[in-house]
Amino acid sequence: MSFERILYRCFVIVISSAVIGCSPTQYMPQFNEATLEIKRNEIASQIERTPQDIQEEPDLVLSRIYSRLEPHAKTACLENGEKWLESSCSSWTLNVVDDENFNAYITPAGDITFHSEVFKYTKSDDEVAFILAHEMSHHILNHGMEDIVNSEIMGATTGLLSGILVGAIAAGLGVSDAVLDDVIEDAVEDGYASGREAGRLTYSVDQESEADRLGLKLINLAGYDELAARQVILFIGADSTELRSGQSSSHPSGPERLAAFDSYSNGTSSGQNSLIGCVSGDCVNGDGSYNWADGRKYVGHWMDDKVHGRGAYSLADGTTFVGQFKAGQISGQGVFESANGHKYVGEFQNSKRHGWGTYTWPDGKKYVGEFKDDEEHGEGSLTYPDGRIFRGQWANGKFLTQ
């Protein structure tokens, strides 16, 4: 029973930058454009990886990592309830095949395959551990099975549900796990051709994100480095730099996946502190990403050790600014969005609203006009959500004349 044609290529980056992958759903956490732009810039500014000679037998590397992850994965698997196969938490198998695509995948039966290319582009056990934990997470979370069932529900395939029913009946009759796995595998293979046609039988954006979250939890439990996991997400992200995973996306966009990863990462206590300082690129003269201990981040251009040129800046609460910087200040055109719904699009000087711009309040009220030293000043109009408009002159934030 070969699974080679079933490509759960959720963890793929094709070095030639062809796009293969997973279909979208709507449950990935949602992020605003500024946040996604920060992530995209960070992905773009990472140092490019070149393939390295494999130093250690990949099988050995994998089994060493597996032995650390396995107890935690098994616990998670049992907690998740074993929806489909009672045997599914007892063991996973590991294979390495020669293949020049950076990829790893797992079958619904729990057989994990790594392409040899993974070991040329990863830098540590910690990085490989995250990829392995991610694949195991797909299995633990029943994603393969969900997809088979979803395909049937969507009317994308025929015969699959009966395959699963046969499997369930066989299980009830006490047939061996091996036979049961074969039944399910048959059902998957049968469904593959039609499923592929309908764009299914690959993991969804939502499932990728869910597997990242559990994978992150597993490597934390096993004592692997969360920052290394993040580096893998960055690397993978270079393959798909659209801001969002669109309806026609074949796999998660890099910026969205990174943003989602960071949101999970912030939810755990460890690791985040290791991401302080210049985390990638050149933060003196050039393009670089810098994280402050209080959660502020900047991704963009630097000059003489100061933010300068185009960049994106965010606060821990989600407030963001994307635009022009000058000698350490926000200066020039930009877009400011606060976490609680205030938005300004326009000109800045010395990190204040200054010049022409549009300011929108969370309730929909909007001022369009001139600003000076962060206040409405000069010509402008204020529009209320109910349609009332006040046009005229403003001084120091106050309306003067109609």
Residues that bind Zn ion (CB under 5 A): 10, 208, 211
Could you tell me which residues come within 8 angstroms of residue 184 by beta carbon, excluding any fewer than 6 positions away? Answer: 84, 85, 108, 109, 145, 163, 164, 167
| Residue placing its CB nearer to Zn ion in the complex, 10 or 69 | 10
| Residue placing its CB nearer to Zn ion in the complex, 93 or 340 | 93
| Residue placing its CB nearer to Zn ion in the complex, 21 or 311 | 21
| Residue placing its CB nearer to Zn ion in the complex, 85 or 211 | 211
| Residue placing its CB nearer to Zn ion in the complex, 34 or 211 | 211
- Smallest distance from Zn ion to CB 10, Å: 2
- Residue 266 CA to residue 270 CA, distance in Å, equals 9
* CB-count exposure of residue 263 (10 Å: 0-12, 13-18, 19+): middle
Q: Are 113 and 105 in contact (CB under 8 A)?
A: yes
- Smallest distance from Zn ion to CB 134, Å: 6
- Smallest distance from Zn ion to CB 5, Å: 18
- Smallest distance from Zn ion to CB 208, Å: 5
- Smallest distance from Zn ion to CB 11, Å: 5
| Residue placing its CB nearer to Zn ion in the complex, 181 or 208 | 208
- Smallest distance from Zn ion to CB 247, Å: 20
- Smallest distance from Zn ion to CB 104, Å: 8
- Residue 350 CA to residue 347 CA, distance in Å, equals 10
| Residue placing its CB nearer to Zn ion in the complex, 10 or 205 | 10
| Closest residue to Zn ion, based on beta-carbon distance | 10
Q: Are 102 and 115 in contact (CB under 8 A)?
A: yes
